Structure 1
């Protein structure tokens, strides 16, 4: 036994022995993280094998660099490589826990626009055990420092180093070949980053996301007008015809978009201990003048809220990685709904109780044609007024009235709430409903912040009625994305009253509310399948705006003849008949039918999959190639971003001049008397 230990000890005192040990420890911790921190959907023996193998090619390649050097330099290089690798793993553990995705180069590039207040989220996400990814570094450093492992000063044998490098390349080639065999088009149909990590590893994904970022830049420089011509032909062929029963019903009306942060459909009529979580939204949902969609899905990717806004007002998807608003919002040409309405006499404004730079809104909104952007600088902020990412909803909405009443009518206004945002924390004086008892601390506070949001919504609707805006406005209410990620399966099952949840259940869990309300509108529950990509064409038809030559990838939800395939950003889709989640096909009862489809049914599913791929690819082409610079409808005027200034003094001066010129603002109609007092709130901070 002693002789064995001595041989191991002697082996570790060589450069090759230490190299073997550090590579093994790196592989081990990576594999453990794969199994415990990420939900990669391992479904067969080949995927299990590739998951175990894929850390090795990169490990051999990067650690192998040290073998070209001698002495302490070689050991320093291996330790630094291990530290960098560990930081990458650690960062992805935290990011995945919140977003169910991996960090991309695009996300890193845009981190400055989304970094404020993230320290609070990180403090909630991080677990003490996460730091174990650095354990091997600490142990090896101690062993080297106290000379339990001695540094090998012998000359570097370059041929052995070269063999390790060659072996890493050959191993990766084999890995890639087996991955492509198990998952064809792995790198050409990259809508889900989980597949890249599952098959090729976290390190390869880092390089691949960097390539994607470079490719996006290259794509824009190579794009031409021919690219948009092909897309226009496809859109024309697949555009739904407007439902004339609803077309133009909201013409000339104000439009208010009420953005329910992280709000999911399951909250509608949901109760905790017999108490409704969202009584005001429930009432609005079932109002006879509200069209409520119960099969409406969020379709966001890494951009989350920014993706929801991009779809809502452009009918274009977010990017496969990163955020379109942060990467392209400043420089790209858009033909967004605010600009279209502004050119038809609407005043346009966005309201948000956080800093204007978040998600690059202060630049993107100009590209979209927003005249005004009332961000944090426009609001009174005191201690206790904010939580998490900005002003509490009740305080935010009450102060927003000051500016809303000054907008010349008709207006298009979007109000983005914030309180129902992860990590779902609320001070005790604002907690008016009990937490759920799933045992998941991330999930259980969700109903409390949702209940608070509902109360704020009720106060806002009450103000609209008292002020007279309610009867002159089309009110659109939507949830932007999931609040509870799919990583909380046990808690989700408890919330839904199930023993467990399948991938199909989790797909259905992606439903968010979408409601359109207006006095005289024929309401009811609409069961059509749709998503955020469909909002813009739906609203344009309701407003009676010609919509036969625009570049939009969604279709009017009220059309009687429309394709009901809802495409997710990762390439999966759901529909009334069949849904494809990963490589599994489900029927509308959630039963797996992958191997039970007839030839005709398979052809139908393949057609849906092709449509999903085509739609996502076209959206990516439009955004990354900035293709709208090559095309605009004859009636549309290209947005000039220099027309807008969101500086408080400039904007308020412009708003005052606009009121005087039009005389149609609510404030003007009220003889200059403010309606702010009509907004009643029980916010304890204001008492």
Structure 2
């Protein structure tokens, strides 16, 4: 390195050329590291997709250099140094955000981040940083040394020479990019940032999502086209014809409704033991008192917990970018609490955290809840989970009962919190996880065991207060617990092969529904998602909900779940939108995409319809 510095001093032109080349390849290596450490791209390293991604990323970096070469003259070395810092910061943010949310940061995500959201994200994502991430800053000593040596040694370049150099860089970059762009299937880009990043690199993914965001903003006030109007009309007509009632129709009419959204409870822990002890003994017991849907997938996006709330209460999909709760809180929605209010119910939302988190204080009113009981309404007497900063689920449940007027029918929507990523609070919790002690998965299992204990208390208290047999009780998990960065632990724990279709099939959450005076348990393995909860409830409570995109899980022969990123799981196949691969649902063999493209396209229309309703505020219009 000392010799390099001496050469730069002796020949500034050589030194500047080295600095530019070093910048290009330093950023390229960081981008490639991002692609593979997040598992957006995988082995074999020299596959066609990986080659196209690398070439595209290289081309975009050349375009960035073209801009710097044109705009900056004598300060071009400083500009390169600052650009390196900015791009590195973006890649670090992308990497750690992706490890938890399995998505690339976008403008709507940034616009949703108030100080409270940022604090929670920082606490959760900081636990995901790897030692290997030092690669993001390993080039800084060279960049700093070069800056010190060169900043006063590079002279000004005449404008026409700067222009020519910039045009050459731009031309090479554009032609190189176009050489790979035409070889990529772009139809899935609209549903998956991951797919655009996988094929054309993270920088292109940022460009593409920004372009979509700008286009969306410019068209928000535009009227929908005739074709879009017909698509929406036909979609709801079809959905309502499919929901004709039948089994369990009206079985809970006029009864109380209680929904418990369980933080980060996934299906793989249900019914499972570790060292001879049940992880979720109370939920296992409740299965024997309820209808258990064991093939339900979460469908959340960037809004995470708030997206699950939205899915359950509206039967619409969340938006692909950011959170509905922040971006579209002023909209008009048809919702579960609004319908029940019209029927004379009191409607309550319960969550033992800051009322403004996820903009709940505003959004719950938009959805039609009469009362929102938040952290300020509880005595903060016990803190368990989420870094020890949140009211425990046990205290949350214990205090909530007395805040409900049980003299008239009510709808209570409870959102738990203790079992929240990163689960390190539970490392010393008294539940033996054996060889998993101290691991991410081991801590999660302990957190889930605690959450299960609280659910058990809640159910027992319902029985003690004579509410159990007078209530339609719904329990479901909200979203993933194990991020992709910790996938290996989960694969090994379950004894499964590491494969993208298997990973998709692991994204299940439990759904349990207990109707009043139920005597016979039932297990239903029909494939569905959280969007199906509301139509199922509406059938059991005997009311129509004509604007649901979900299906009644009790009375349908259709088996499918659509993820917000465009991935689809059916009883026949698993379609991975990021890779555009189709796998046989039963044995995982690769299938021909062309055989299913028409059906896949029809499923993805649901996302399009939901997006139009939300972004255009169509229920208001």
Normalized against structure 2, the TM-score is what? 0.92
Distance 1:353 1:235, change over 3 A: same
**Pairwise CA distance, 1:3:** 11
Shift of 1:149: 8.3
Of 62, 65, 68, the residue aligned with 1:66 is 68
Q: Does 1:540 align with 2:541?
A: no
Equivalent of 1:556, from 544, 552, 555?
552
**Distance in 2 between residues matched to 1:17 and 1:411, nearest whole Å:** 71
Find the partner of 2:582 among 576, 581, 585. Answer: 585
CA contact (8 A) 1:385 1:392 kept: yes
Query: Which whole-Å CA distance do the structure 1 matches of 2:532 and 2:31 have between them?
Result: 41
Give the corresponding residue for 1:530: 528
Alignment-derived partner of residue 561 in structure 2 = 566
- 2:598 aligned residue: 607
Structure 1 position 303, deviation (Å): 1.9
1:186 positional shift: 4.8
1:512 paired to 2:509 = yes
Secondary structure of the structure 2 residue equivalent to 1:135: coil
CA deviations over 1:455-480 (Å, ceiling 9, x no partner) = 00011111111111111111000011
How far 1:128 moved relative to its partner?
Answer: 4.3
Question: Aligned to 1:624, which of 600, 611, 615?
Answer: 615
- Kept in 2: contact 1:223–1:627 (CA 8 A): no
Q: What is aligned with 2:258?
A: 256
Other structure's SS at 1:182 match: coil
Report the CA distance between 1:221 and its aligned residue.
0.5
Question: 2:312 matched to which residue of 1?
Answer: 312
Deviation at 1:363, TM superposition (A): 1.1
Cα distance in structure 2, aligned partners of 1:70 and 1:518: 69
* Compared CA separation, residues 577 and 295, structure 1 to 2 (3 A): same
Is the alpha carbon distance of 1:165 and 1:333 closer, same or farther for their aligned partners in structure 2, counting shifts above 3 Å?
farther
Contact 2:16 2:154 in 1 (8 A): yes
User: Secondary structure of the residue that 2:435 maps to in structure 1?
Assistant: coil
1:152 is aligned to 2:164? no
Distance in 1 between residues matched to 2:451 and 2:82, nearest whole Å? 47
Please say if residues 71 and 152 of structure 1, whose CA atoms lie closer than 8 Å, have aligned partners that are also in contact: no
Distance 1:360 1:228, change over 3 A: farther
Seen in structure 2, the aligned counterparts of structure 1 residues 266 and 428 have a Cα distance that, compared at 3 Å, is closer
Deviation at 1:59, TM superposition (A): 1.8
Question: Is the contact between residue 385 and residue 447 of structure 2 (CA under 8 Å) also seen in structure 1?
Answer: no
Query: Against the structure 1 CA distance between its residues 173 and 186, is the aligned structure 2 distance closer, same or farther, given a 3 Å change threshold?
Result: farther
- The match for 2:298 is 298
Number of residue pairs matched?
611
* C-alpha distance 160-451 of structure 1, shift in aligned 2 (>3 A): same
List per-residue Cα deviations over 1:140-183 (Å, max 9, x = no partner). Answer: 113432x3887311424544444434543553454355344232
- For 1:381 and 1:478, locate their aligned partners in 2 and report how far apart those are by CA, in whole Å: 25
Match of 2:493 in 1: 495
Q: 1:214 to 1:409 in 2, by over 3 A?
A: farther
Give 1:377's aligned residue: 376
Q: Kindly indicate whether the alpha-carbon contact (under 8 Å) linking 1:268 and 1:278 is maintained by their aligned counterparts in 2.
A: yes
Distance in 2 between residues matched to 1:5 and 1:483, nearest whole Å = 49
Q: Secondary structure at the match of 2:583?
A: strand
SS class of match (2:590):
coil
Greater CA drift, 191-200 or 44-53: 44-53
Q: Which residue of 1 aligns with 2:138?
A: 135
- SS for the counterpart of 1:54 is helix
Tell me how far apart the structure 2 counterparts of residues 279 and 359 of structure 1 sit (CA, whole Å). Answer: 31
Question: Which runs of 5 or more structure 2 residues have no equivalent in the other structure?
Answer: none
Contact 2:247 2:554 in 1 (8 A): no
Distance 2:499 2:601 in 1: 24
Over residues 223-243 of structure 1, what are the superposed CA-to-partner deviations in whole Å (9 max), with x where a residue is unaligned? Answer: 349544540222212432334
Q: CA contact under 8 A between 2:50 and 2:199: conserved in structure 1?
A: no
Per the alignment, residue 121 of structure 2 pairs with 118
Single out whichever of 273-282 and 583-592 deviates more from structure 2: 583-592
* Mean CA deviation greater in 407-416 or 351-360: 407-416
How far does residue 265 in structure 1 lie from its aligned partner after superposition? Answer: 0.7
Q: Which runs of 5+ in 1 are unaligned?
A: 631-687
Task: Give the TM-score normalised by the residue count of structure 1.
Answer: 0.83
Q: Is the 8 A contact 1:216 1:625 kept in 2?
A: no
Q: CA deviation at 1:364?
A: 1.0
Question: What's the offset of the Cα at 1:274?
Answer: 0.7
Supply the distance in 2 between the matched residues of 1:225 and 1:337 (Cα, whole angstroms).
29
The equivalent residue for 1:36 is: 37
What does the per-residue CA deviation read over 1:90-118, in whole Å, with 9 as the maximum and x for residues that have no partner?
Answer: 11111111112111111100011622433
Alignment-derived partner of residue 335 in structure 1:
334
After the TM superposition, which residues 183-194 of structure 1 pair with which residues of structure 2 at under 5 Å, given as runs?
183-187=185-189, 190-194=190-194
Q: Which runs of 4+ in 1 moved over 6 A?
A: 2-9
Residues 275, 158 of structure 1: CA spacing in aligned structure 2 closer, same or farther, 3 A cutoff?
farther
Correspondence for 1:216? 216
Distance 1:464 1:553 in 2: 32
Name the CA distance, whole Å, in 1 between partners of 2:234 and 2:528.
Answer: 22
Cα distance, 1:440 vs structure 2:
7.7
| Corresponding residue SS for 1:476 | strand
**Pairing 1:356–2:355 present:** yes
Q: How far, CA to CA, are the matches of 2:47 and 2:238 in structure 1?
A: 43
Q: Distance in 2 between matches of 1:172 and 1:488?
A: 37
The CA deviation string for residues 364-391 of structure 1, in whole angstroms up to 9 with x for no partner, is: 1111101111111111125746644621
Query: Aligned in 2, Cα 1:566/1:387: closer, same or farther, shift over 3 Å?
Result: closer
Q: 1:71 to 1:274 in 2, by over 3 A?
A: same
In the alignment, the residues of structure 2 paired with residue 3 and residue 77 of structure 1 have an alpha-carbon distance, to the nearest angstrom, of 24
- Contact (CA 8 Å) 2:306, 2:323: kept in 1 or not? yes
Query: Which residue matches 2:460?
Result: 462
Report SS of the residue matched to 1:221. coil
CA pair 470-176 structure 1, distance change in 2 beyond 3 A: farther
Please provide the CA RMSD for this pair.
2.7
Distance 1:3 1:86 in 2: 26
Deviates more, 1:173-182 or 1:613-622: 173-182
Cα 1:86–1:158, aligned 2, differ >3 Å: closer, same or farther? Answer: farther
Question: Compared with structure 1, are the counterparts of its residues 142 and 332 closer, same or farther at alpha carbon in structure 2 (3 Å cutoff)?
Answer: same
- Mean Cα displacement is larger for which, 27-36 or 381-390? 381-390
Q: Tell me, in whole angstroms, the C-alpha distance in 2 between the residues paired with 1:3 and 1:518.
A: 78
Tell whether the 8 Å contact from 1:61 to 1:165 is kept in structure 2 after alignment. Answer: no
Equivalent residue number for residue 27 of structure 1: 28
Please say if residues 320 and 569 of structure 1, whose CA atoms lie closer than 8 Å, have aligned partners that are also in contact: yes
Secondary structure of the corresponding residue to residue 515 of structure 1: strand
Distance, in Å, in 2 between the alignment partners of 1:134 and 1:18 is 16
What CA deviation, in whole Å up to 9, does each residue of 1:421-479 have, x standing for no partner?
101133577x2312363588322200110000000001111111111111111100001
Q: Where do 1:393-412 residues align within 5 Å? A: 393-404=393-404, 406=405, 408-412=407-411
Residues 121, 422 of structure 1: 8 Å contact kept: yes
